[in-house]
Amino acid sequence: AALRFVMHVDEALQFGDAAIHEAATYGLDSLLKAQYANGGWPQRFEGPASPQLYRSAKAGFPKDWSREWPKAKYYDYCTFNDRLFDDLMNVLFDAERIYGRADCRAAALRSGDFIIAAQLPEPQPAWAQQYDHDMHPAWARKFEPPSITGGESQGVVRTLMRLYRETADNKYLAPIPAALAWFARSRLPDGRLARFYELQTNKPLYFVKDTYELTYEDDRLPTHYGFQVSDSSDSLRREYEGLV
C-alpha cells in the first residue's frame, strides 16, 4: 500500500520530484527481486529471492504432516495470506500503467502461473495459505496449519478473474469451476466456510482456545482470528459466468 501510494503521488506530480520518483523505482525494483522463479512470493523478504528454493512447480499433498505446530521458520514460504496476490496485482498493473513497465506486467503474469500451479488436486481443488519448498501446504503461525483454506481461496479466485480481465487469456479462468464446486460442497451448516479444511478428508479444522490443540470441534475457538468466514462463492460464480 505504501509503495502504491508513492507511485500515485509520483504520477500526480508528473514525475517531477526526484526523491519520490527514486523511491517508487527503488521499491518496485526491490519487490520484483523478491519474486520466486515459479511466480510465487514469500511471506516476508530481506533481499532477492533464493534461486535454490521451489524446484517443485506443481502443488500436491504431503504424505503426512504434523498435527503439532513445529515452530519452524515460514517467512520464505510462498503464501496467499493477507490478500497478498490481490495487493500485488494492484501494484504491478498500476506500475505498468504509470511507468510503462513491462517487467511489472510480466511479474503479475508469472504470479498467475503460480496460482494455477498452486491449486491442489481433487478432492480439494482450492488453495493453501502457504506452501513449503516442496509446494506442499505447510504450517505458518501456531493457528495456521497445513490445510486448504476457505478464506484465502476466495481471494485467489478473484485474482484469477482480474488476470483474465487484464489479459483475455482463458488459462486464468480454467481453475475456477473446480474451485467453485469445492466451495459449494464445503459449506458449513450455517452457510459459511471454515478457514481451514483438513488435507484430503476436507473436515473443518479448528483450534482449542488457550491450548491451540487442533480439533474438529468449533465450540472453544480463540477469538483473535477468523476460523469461520463468509462464503462469497455465489457472487464469485456470477462474476465468473459473466466472463465466460
Confidence of residue 235 (pLDDT cuts 50, 70, 90): very high
Least Cα distance to 78 among 46, 49, 100, 121 occurs for 49
Grid coordinates 496476490 are at which residue? 85
Asked if 59 and 117 count as a contact pair (C-beta separation under 8 A), the reply is yes
Confidence of residue 137 (pLDDT cuts 50, 70, 90): very high
The predicted-structure confidence for 110-136, as pLDDT tens digits, reads as follows 999 999 999 999 999 999 999 999 999
Dist. CA 79–CA 73, nearest whole Å? 13
Confidence of residue 82 (pLDDT cuts 50, 70, 90): confident
pLDDT attached to residue 56: 62
The predicted-structure confidence for 158-180, as pLDDT tens digits, reads as follows 999 999 999 999 999 999 999 99
What average pLDDT score do residues 47-66 get?
A: 87
What average pLDDT score do residues 55-62 get?
A: 85
Confidence of residue 51 (pLDDT cuts 50, 70, 90): confident
